[in-house]
Structures are given as C-alpha cells and as structure tokens.
Amino acid sequence: MSERRVVMTGIGLVSPLGIGVAPVWQGLTEGRSGIGPITHFDPTEYACRIAGECRGFDPEQWVDKKDVKKMDLFMHFGVAAAKLAWEDCGLTVTEENATRIGVIIGSGIGGLTAIQNQAFILKERGPRRISPFFIPMSLINLISGHVAIRYGMQGPNHSVVTACATGAHAIGDAMRLIQRGEADVMLAGGAEAAICELAVGGFAAAKALTSRNDDPTGASRPWDRGRDGFVMAEGAGVVVLETLDSAQARGATIYAEMVGYGMSGDAYHITAPQPDGSGAARCMTAAMRDARVDPERIGYINAHGTSTPIGDHMETLAVKLALGEANARKVMISSTKSMTGHLLGAAGGVEAIFTALALKNGVLPPTINLTDPDPECDLDYIPNTARDKVIEYAMSNSFGFGGTNATLLMKRFH
C-alpha cells in the first residue's frame, strides 16, 4: 500500500511575538525581537535576567476559569495553540470520525513551574497543602489529554518528550500515523512555559544562557561572533495535519505538504552536540531520503540556530555535510530564534509553522542581530532583512539535549 500524502491545514501560535498567526508572522518578517526583561519572577540575583515571555496572554480567554488553576502555564499555552489550529482548519469532530482524529502535543520540560511551586509549598506549609491537581498539572501528556477531552478526539493520543526536538518529533510522528492509515487527522506540536526560578537558574548554571542582560533585543544572535548563549522563551506551536484527499475534498487552506521526516542520535554527550555535525547531517539526509528529494532542491532551512558558540558552528558543518559544499553555499538559512528566543520543547512546533508560512507566502524570515558574522559560520543566513523568494522545498531542524535530532521537510503546495 502506498503512503498517503499529508498536508498542513491548521496552525496555532502562542509566542513572544504575539498570539495567532497574523501578528507573529508580521513581527517575524519585520525582524522584530520579542525578548525583554523577565517579569515572571524577580531575576535580580540570576546570571540571565531576560527571556521571551508571552506578554499579554490571559489563560481565562482559552481555558474555563474553574480549570485555570488545575493546569500549569505550559498547558494553557498548548490548549490555546491547539484551539487556534483547530478553528483554523475548519474541521469538526463527529461520532463518525472521532476515532480517526488524534493528538500528539509534547513538551521538553513540562510542568516544571508547578513542580517548583508545589515544592515551595511542601517545604513552607507541609504536605497537606499540596494541590490535589499537582500531578495532572505537571504531566506532559496532559496537554494532549485536555485537547482530546475538549473536542472528543478519540484517535491516537500521546506525547513526545525529546528536549528541544520535541515539537518537530511530535509533528513527524503525527505525519507517520496519517501516512500509515492509523489516523486521518492529527493535532501535533509542542508547548513550553519554563521561565521560572529553577529552570533559569539551572540553564544558567550549565552555562547555556546569554549574559547580554543590558541588550535584550540584541541578545539572541545566531552565527554572530558575539553570540554567548541562548535566550529562553515560552509559548506553543500546534498544527493540524490531514490527508491531501480530505483537504482537497473540503476545499481547505493548505499551508504546505509534509514530505519528509528524519531522525538521528549523536550518541556523543548529554548536552553538547557532536562537534563535526555528523549526527545532525544524518538527520537532514534521512528527511531528504524519506521525501525522495535531492539536496540541490532544498531552497530554505529554518535552522535550530540557538545562538550558542558550539551549536551554531556545528549546524553550519552539518548543512555542508548533508547538502554538499556547493548546495550549502546556495541554500538560504535563517534562525527565527533570533527574534523569538528558544522555546525549548515548543520550538519545533513554532518553527515548523514558520517554515510552512515561508513556503506559502514566498517570504523567508531573517536572522536578526547578525552584524559581525563568525568566519566559521559562512553560509547565507538571510541577515537582518526578510527575503522575498518563492521556493519549492524547505527544512526545519530541531536538535535536543542527549543528542536527539529531528528534521521536517515540506513542499510548497500549488
């Protein structure tokens, strides 16, 4: 049996650049940064005091008031993005199709804020004051659970936890389920809300975060000589995937066709990537092989591009290995994390949406703050200004702690 073709027909975004596609895409193509001082807690004593917060997000606009306190913020974000995506796609769950519609929404860290805050309560006020909702508010798979319960989606329901590759793995896994005929429609993506004392302190202790506190909007600067670590961010990106036949039959908006999915493992280090880029390159090569697309046909890569000294150099080497030196020189690459910061487990979901929009709209987002290029990072990173360019194929890369890698490959639908 031949695999069924899969397309993206719904998108939902909650990000530091705004809520919903229109404001986020406008901010992205204008090269606007969503980074600012941390307001979720007093960061005075912390080495990193800036982040990409979703300012203006009101959980009560997305979740019933009685349920808000039963859920961690990462769940609020995930449910909101899923609602936006589901409404965007125009489908309805019925008694006939309910078992064919599923959900895979993951998170890299999940309810760490809830875990931290309930630990504070345990220490200060004793075990009897722990919230009865503590466990379900911290479990990562509960976003998928909440979404499925809200809409009555009875198909495959699970979650992905692969650090910063989570969102991409969730979408790729959902694509596979539809290709194999195990579901007809899937909501998939990632959500994260880890801007809390424990996470910011922990990432700073690992020397992963920027210390450019006096220049928030210029702090995330992938491939720039002055990069010194990533900027943590929060939000969610969720998409609706369905069969091409279904989408065409109902006249749905198609953002992009999902044609390739690659995975690999570095088997090298718990936090650092394989320095020669070979693990990430194998992941990109796997996606191209899956899609039966030659390297010279890749027009754009939405890079992982976290703004870390090692990671950005590694990804440059990986692109050259996967595409070959000549094709690597021609492909256009950008890191939208220069504007959103790093959404950790949500990054892959958000950036898959950015990649699809780049294909559909013929506009490639820039890498901002690239003013002093690292000579060892010598490819076309679309510096500082968006580029009008119609392309056929685009990849989105996501790499996570533990050496876990995911690449999604999409095709412009026309």
| Residues labelled as active-site residues | 164, 304, 342
- CA-atom Rg of the chain in angstroms: 20
What CA–CA distance (Å, rounded) separates 280 from 328? 14
- The residues pairing with 263 across neighbouring beta strands, listed in sequence order, are 406
Q: Which two tokens stand for residue 46?
A: 């912390």
Q: Three-class SS of residue 15?
A: strand
What CA–CA distance (Å, rounded) separates 11 from 20? 9
Q: At what angle do helices 142-151 and 73-89 cross, to 10 degrees?
A: 40
- Cβ atoms of 407 and 287 within 8 Å: the answer is yes
Return the sign of the alpha-carbon dihedral for residues 266, 268, 269, 272.
negative
Helices of type H across 106-243: 112-125, 134-138, 142-151, 166-179, 197-205
The enclosing H or E element of 18 equals strand 18-19
What CA–CA distance (Å, rounded) separates 151 from 128? 34
- Cβ atoms of 363 and 387 within 8 Å: the answer is yes
DSSP letter string, 242-274: EEHHHHHHTT----EEEEEEEEEE--S-SSSPP
Nearest to 202 by CA among 192, 191, 194, 214: 194
State the CB neighbour count (10 A cutoff) for residue 49: 18
What CA–CA distance (Å, rounded) separates 355 from 61? 28
Q: Which two tokens stand for residue 353?
A: 């949406």
Q: Where are the beta strands (DSSP E) in 147-230?
A: 157-158, 185-192
